[in-house]
Structure 1
Amino acid sequence: MSLTAATRGFVVFLLSAQVVQGQNGWRVTYTSTEICAVKGSTVEIGCSYTPPSGPYFSLRKGIWFTKINNGEFVDLSSVSDYAGRVQYSYNNRDCTLRISDLRESDSAEYWFRSESKQEAIQYTGSLGVTLSVTGVMVQVQMSSRFLKAELKCQSSCRLPDSSSYVWYKNERVQTGWISSSYSVYYDPHPADNYSCAVNGHENHRSPSVYPPKLPSVSVSPSAETEEGSAVTLTCSSDANPAASYTWYKKDGKPILPPFKKGPQLVFSSIHSSDSGQYYCSVKNKLGRRTSKDIFIHVKYAPKPPSVSVSASAEREEGSAVTLTCSCDANPAASYTWYKENRTVFLGAVGSYHFTSISSEDRGNYYCRAENQYGEVNSTSLFVDVQYAPKPPSVSVSPSAEREEGSSVTLTCSSDANPAANYTWYKEDEDSPKASGQIFTITYFRAEHSGSYSCGAQNKLGRSNSTLHQIILADESIMIMNITRLTLMVEMLILLLLFCLLMRKEKAVSFNTELNEPIETWEFDPCPVYENVSDLNMVSAEQTEEPGEQEDLV
């Protein structure tokens, strides 16, 4: 059961019933051993005593104390914190303690100590009185009404139902509000704050309640950090009641799910995918605020690059082609292009451009991306360049003299992409002789002799070989002898012309000095022949060798 006692216009709550203690004939009675009082009020701790029996016994000295210092009981009236606020009463065996202008620091356990004038009899009860001093505070509750919050002025000590209250908004008294409840709109202006006090004790107002202030976000150790390091984001906001925190990461979506709750967002080993914009939301029962964004830059080595080639899958010789290398890296990577392990391009951008690609550019390419944190190579990319056939070459097997009835194989080869189709032709014939890279004459005869060529063709163009002559062995000897005879005749004709010119010059006389006879040559390289038969005989003697007469048939 709780008892109450009025004290100077305020209320003190007695939390336990009357207690009587006795020793050595002394009797001390406390009204209660537990009292709850509101800060700023005056409390009376009820106390009465009965000395030992006898007509001459009376109280010589009585004190109240809360602590003992070096075995001495410290009288409250001598303590500076209680100066001017403590009053003892000794009337009619009354030992009541009165403390005014209560402070929360006055919360303690109090004892009464008595001494007799007649005898050195002292008494301190085994039990004291526990005093709890509390202030008023504003309790915030969500209202059932939409976008409303209910403020309740209350104390841990139950205040009388007849108590009236004073409400403050931004330090201004709100007239017309004397009840313990006060309604406000949810999420008011961030600068708004509310407090209350019990009427008559305005100097002991409650702490203010208010929605969260604009939160600030900090990052440690730095917003620019290397992948794998520990990073902590901290969100802070002034709010009463205490606020809850929720972290978000922007990802381009209009509605974002909560990322993490709590005032701190900790990355024990931050990853490149953690780069981005973060913000926190702070909320209590009065409102909600959102912080500004903070961008986290995670530095990391290049990830494996991707490579691509522009234009169509079939790139023709002479066309413009661009190889592109790209990778995720922070800071941005520099790129090097290689062809078959040979450097072909180095630059800050990953594009390698062929203004007019050629067949020699065909091959395997790869790129390397690197920054200050590392380097990595891409997979290999094959660049296929398509082009018309190059001029074909023709080979003949066997290469020795071909006899009648033997097998002859002609092979045509041309560099082309895509691969060329081959067609064989014989000189002075309109129709093709065969198709395919290899042309075989299984039984070679005289009519097969002649000049052959091949043509190589793909969808991009065509190219023909030069003529290649193939004849039988006998024909080859005859043609060779005829060729030799023709050359010899041509030489004789040239010699005859030379001789005629020389004879003409001899007919002209010249002297370097007067009366000097004309010199004559002892040897005449150009004799005069009487007839053509003599010329033929000489030619035969000069050109004919033993054993060759029978070959020239």
Structure 2
Amino acid sequence: MSWTPQKAIVMCALLLSKVQALETNGWGGSYDVTTICGLRGSSVELVCTFWYPQTKNASVKTVWFTKWNNDKPEDLRSDPQYAGRLHFDCQDNQCRLSISQLRGSDAGVYKFRFVTTVNSYTVTPGVTLTVTDLNVQVGSALSCVSKCNLDTGASYIWYKDGQEILNANSYWYYDYRSSPSRGYDDRHSYSCAIRGYQQLVSPPLCPGRPSSTWCNRVLYEERSICALKGSTVDISCTYSTYYSSQVTSKFWFTKNDPRDLKLDDRYKARVELFEKSQGQSTLRINNLMESDSADYRFTFTTKGKFTWKSTLPGTILTVAVVQVQVVLVTVKESYIIAQLLCHLSCSPPSPLSFCWSRNGQPVGSCAPSQMDKPFEVILYPGDYVSCAVEGYPLNVSAQLYAPMTPFVSPSDPGEIVEGDRLILTCRTNPAISYRHRWFKKIRNTGILEISDGEQLVFKATKSSDSAEYFCTAENELGAKMSEPVQVDVKYAPRNCSLLVRPSKFPEEGQSVTLTCSSYAKPETNYTLYKDDQPVRLESGGIYRFISIRPQDAGRFYCKARNEYGEANSSEEVIEVMYSPRPPEVSAKASDDIRPGSWVSLTCSSDAKPNASYAWYKATEETPLTTAAVYNISDYQAKHAGEYRCVAHNAMGSRNATLWLQPMASSLTASIVHYVAAGGAVLVLLLVAVVLLRKKMTSKAQPNASSDGSRGPADDLVYSTVTFSKQPHIYANVVEAQRRKGEDQDEDVEYSLVNCDGHALKLKTQEDAGVSELDSAVQKRRI
């Protein structure tokens, strides 16, 4: 069947209807931009977003292409012209194509196509790529232009005779010493570049004579060259000068070293310099090494002392490094399946073939590297693969190992004490180069990545470094994890403390627990001290008062000790709170006890916290005073009677009573005086008899107890009513009358009435009647 224009139109109509039908059924795509322009040697990125009806378990294949081959799009990844310059990345429904080191041959229309298990779709219209160079354009001023729509707000660099012009940052440059009206200087050339992309500099232009070659300039044949290790490369340039017949010296050098390469020991045995014709210089470097990668520049000097400057970029030489790229890794139980590509770090001018080997043995046949057909190989732990450029034995990639399980090796396997230096090394057997990462297992929080590198160094270990550590050995083929190693840092006790529960101010009878604690490794032994005397502890540094008493109060602290040192806690003072003890009451009088005399009643009690006091008269509810002392400044008959003292604090209260007798007459006082004196003599005689008898009894029974016959004497407490500085004092000790409403069986405690500062004596007749006050005290336990 012959092909006619009519049939072509019909075919196009059918294709268009098919595309429209797909678009209406949920198939389609779009490009971020449909035109893009790049400078020669730069990089560009093309982006396409696509969509299609989602189906279960649908698989999608994607391809970027510029031409068809046998009715199929030719994947750019299989084109040797793009080898090493493409980066293909698809995430979800968006695919990106990056092209680096743009060449003029890269210009064209790039399209994206995706294929599913149901259908295929090509996203139109595609992206048109234009590749161009920068050029200097002559006008009223010099302009830096290209076929691309450059950003006029970008920062530019201008060069004059190979030397950067300072402060010339605009896309145009005006030389006030040269202008169209005055004519540009025939001697000088100008170049421009975008700052940050100086390697894309424009070729030098002589604005005075644009078509002339007789001005000062150097023009490199190639801006970049990719060459293989061990090969030979020629780097060439043409140069001219206004003083063409007066060139006195010329040589090649590198950007980082302005010396003549022929004088450099690294090059002088490997470089040749020759000129094919006048004004054309060629640098030849033999037996290339990776260290030869550099920016090579040419300079010359004329008899008139003009020197072509060296800041203008020259030819960048890259000595290719063979690299293995991992496309996909499938992990099995005991091995992995790897899909690999072999490529160079730069793009050589002509296609190359690559050869694969596993564990040093060739695998398969040599072939061009194609991204759409990666090399697939099975690798067990410790196996390695490498690739090489066919015909160039020096161009071999580094060996890529399937990951092996590493192990952690400590620098000191013995005991680790705080402050020691410790190094953990992540090793494999045999030793293989991996990337290493270190992890720390933190209790209750999980795993924390803390460092990378083969070694984990602790310059001075701390207690907080105690933990489990493990490392990973990883590369492009995967990662393996070591078994964890326990780091146990020993250290002396610190932060020793003493905890008192429930309080440092317990109530009498309360249970109190003292607990010693500290941080240490190994665990510590504790000693509790009370008032600087050791106290025996229970296990775990605990001491308990089952029912604490006032005498248990004191200063306490703990001492923690292990083999690496000791530490003391701060001191804790325990004060036991208790209610008032039975109060002691007493009375004092002035010299003469008669109407108008002064009498003082005093009350005291042991308590914690200190007791507060109140004095009451008989059954009155209103206190006479809220002080411990009650003073009667004008004693009268009405003051006689029962007085009650109440001692109280937050823990409780206790009472005691005191009885003041009414004042006696002068005759009664005399009688009382003699009776008291006689009674005193009688008491003294009775005491003497009792003591003598007791002494005789103790000699007869030396082992008998003297306490057995005392009886319940604790129920009776006596105190003294004292009348100070009175030579003749008489007192009766009587039982205090009960107040109405009190129980008759209430325990009674009696207080002895004292006469402060005076002994009881029998007085003569003339001493009678001087002082007239009888007192009896009754103290009750309330």
Over residues 397-452 of structure 1, what are the superposed CA-to-partner deviations in whole Å (9 max), with x where a residue is unaligned? 45877454233332322222333232224457676543332222222223323453
Does residue 332 of structure 2 align to residue 141 of structure 1? no
Of 319, 322, 326, the match for 2:510: 319
> C-alpha distance in 2, partners of 1:246/1:172?
31
Question: 1:13, CA displacement in angstroms?
Answer: 8.0
Question: 1:143, CA displacement in angstroms?
Answer: 4.1
Does residue 414 of structure 2 align to residue 230 of structure 1? no
Of 310, 333, 357, the match for 2:524: 333
User: Normalising by the residue count of structure 1, what TM-score does the alignment of the two structures yield?
Assistant: 0.54
Over residues 449-505 of structure 1, what are the superposed CA-to-partner deviations in whole Å (9 max), with x where a residue is unaligned? 345341212232222236465776978765454556789999xxxxxxxxxxxxxxx
> C-alpha distance in 2, partners of 1:186/1:325?
65
CA contact (8 A) 2:355 2:362 kept: no
Task: Give SS of 1:269's match.
Answer: coil
Of 312, 320, 342, the match for 1:152: 342
Task: Give SS of 2:638's match.
Answer: helix
Over residues 319-347 of structure 1, what are the superposed CA-to-partner deviations in whole Å (9 max), with x where a residue is unaligned? 11111221111121111222222222346
Question: 1:236, CA displacement in angstroms?
Answer: 1.4
Q: How many residues align?
A: 374
> C-alpha distance in 2, partners of 1:413/1:549?
34
Q: Which amino acid aligns with 2:501?
A: S
Does residue 418 of structure 2 align to residue 418 of structure 1? no
- 5 Å matches for 1:41-80? none
Question: 1:249, CA displacement in angstroms?
Answer: 2.5
Question: 1:163, CA displacement in angstroms?
Answer: 4.9
Q: Unaligned 5+ residue runs, structure 2?
A: 1-228, 235-268, 270-285, 290-320, 332-337, 684-761, 773-782
Q: Which amino acid aligns with 2:526?
A: Y
> Structure 1's 14 and 408: CA in aligned 2 closer, same or farther, altered over 3 A?
closer
> C-alpha distance in 1, partners of 2:410/2:444?
24
- 5 Å matches for 1:22-421? 139-143=323-327, 150-152=340-342, 163=353, 165=355, 168=358, 180=369, 183=374, 190=381, 193-195=384-386, 209-222=400-413, 224-237=415-428, 242-252=433-443, 258-312=449-503, 315-346=506-537, 349-397=540-588, 402-421=593-612
Larger Rg: 1
Task: Give SS of 1:301's match.
Answer: strand
> C-alpha distance in 1, partners of 2:624/2:231?
129
Does residue 639 of structure 2 align to residue 448 of structure 1? yes
> C-alpha distance in 2, partners of 1:301/1:379?
17
Q: Which amino acid aligns with 1:436?
A: A
CA contact (8 A) 1:305 1:377 kept: yes
Q: Which amino acid aligns with 1:374?
A: G
Over residues 157-210 of structure 1, what are the superposed CA-to-partner deviations in whole Å (9 max), with x where a residue is unaligned? x99957574554x89987799655785899987466445689999xxx988532
Q: Which amino acid aligns with 2:342?
A: K
> Structure 1's 297 and 451: CA in aligned 2 closer, same or farther, altered over 3 A?
same
Does residue 646 of structure 2 align to residue 462 of structure 1? no
> C-alpha distance in 2, partners of 1:15/1:549?
146
> C-alpha distance in 2, partners of 1:470/1:375?
68
CA contact (8 A) 1:213 1:239 kept: no
Question: 1:257, CA displacement in angstroms?
Answer: 5.1
> C-alpha distance in 2, partners of 1:150/1:194?
10
Q: CA RMSD in A?
A: 5.1
Over residues 69-110 of structure 1, what are the superposed CA-to-partner deviations in whole Å (9 max), with x where a residue is unaligned? xxxxxxxxxxxxxxxxxxxxxxxxxxxxxxxxxxxxxxxx9x
CA contact (8 A) 2:425 2:455 kept: yes
Task: Give SS of 2:400's match.
Answer: coil
> Structure 1's 291 and 397: CA in aligned 2 closer, same or farther, altered over 3 A?
farther
> Structure 1's 213 and 318: CA in aligned 2 closer, same or farther, altered over 3 A?
same
> C-alpha distance in 2, partners of 1:188/1:476?
128
Over residues 40-62 of structure 1, what are the superposed CA-to-partner deviations in whole Å (9 max), with x where a residue is unaligned? xxxxxxxxxxxxxxxxxxxxxxx
- Bigger CA drift: 421-430 or 316-325? 421-430
Over residues 8-52 of structure 1, what are the superposed CA-to-partner deviations in whole Å (9 max), with x where a residue is unaligned? xxxx987489xxxxxxxxxxxxxxxxxxxxxxxxxxxxxxxxxxx
CA contact (8 A) 1:227 1:271 kept: yes
Question: 1:382, CA displacement in angstroms?
Answer: 2.4
> Structure 1's 465 and 345: CA in aligned 2 closer, same or farther, altered over 3 A?
farther
Task: Give SS of 1:434's match.
Answer: coil
> Structure 1's 545 and 420: CA in aligned 2 closer, same or farther, altered over 3 A?
closer
Q: Which amino acid aligns with 1:446?
A: A
> C-alpha distance in 2, partners of 1:230/1:306?
30
> C-alpha distance in 1, partners of 2:541/2:498?
9
User: Normalising by the residue count of structure 2, what TM-score does the alignment of the two structures yield?
Assistant: 0.40
Question: 1:260, CA displacement in angstroms?
Answer: 2.6
- Bigger CA drift: 343-352 or 330-339? 343-352
Task: Give SS of 2:551's match.
Answer: helix
Question: 1:217, CA displacement in angstroms?
Answer: 0.9
> C-alpha distance in 2, partners of 1:395/1:187?
108
CA contact (8 A) 1:395 1:411 kept: yes
> C-alpha distance in 2, partners of 1:452/1:371?
64
CA contact (8 A) 2:402 2:477 kept: yes
User: Where does residue 534 of structure 1 map in the other structure?
Assistant: none
> C-alpha distance in 2, partners of 1:241/1:165?
23
Percent of aligned pairs with the same amino acid:
35
Question: 1:304, CA displacement in angstroms?
Answer: 3.0
Task: Give SS of 2:579's match.
Answer: coil
Q: Unaligned 5+ residue runs, structure 1?
A: 1-11, 18-108, 110-128, 491-543
> C-alpha distance in 1, partners of 2:681/2:434?
119
> C-alpha distance in 2, partners of 1:478/1:428?
32
> C-alpha distance in 1, partners of 2:443/2:325?
35
Q: Which amino acid aligns with 2:467?
A: G
> Structure 1's 433 and 196: CA in aligned 2 closer, same or farther, altered over 3 A?
same
> Structure 1's 402 and 164: CA in aligned 2 closer, same or farther, altered over 3 A?
same
> Structure 1's 165 and 155: CA in aligned 2 closer, same or farther, altered over 3 A?
farther
CA contact (8 A) 2:531 2:555 kept: yes
Task: Give SS of 1:300's match.
Answer: strand
CA contact (8 A) 2:670 2:769 kept: no
CA contact (8 A) 1:422 1:454 kept: yes
User: Where does residue 119 of structure 1 map in the other structure?
Assistant: none
> C-alpha distance in 1, partners of 2:380/2:662?
110
> C-alpha distance in 1, partners of 2:376/2:532?
72
> Structure 1's 388 and 257: CA in aligned 2 closer, same or farther, altered over 3 A?
same
- Bigger CA drift: 376-385 or 471-480? 471-480
> C-alpha distance in 2, partners of 1:260/1:272?
19
Q: Which amino acid aligns with 1:150?
A: L
> Structure 1's 275 and 400: CA in aligned 2 closer, same or farther, altered over 3 A?
farther
> Structure 1's 314 and 189: CA in aligned 2 closer, same or farther, altered over 3 A?
farther
> Structure 1's 191 and 433: CA in aligned 2 closer, same or farther, altered over 3 A?
same
> Structure 1's 239 and 178: CA in aligned 2 closer, same or farther, altered over 3 A?
farther
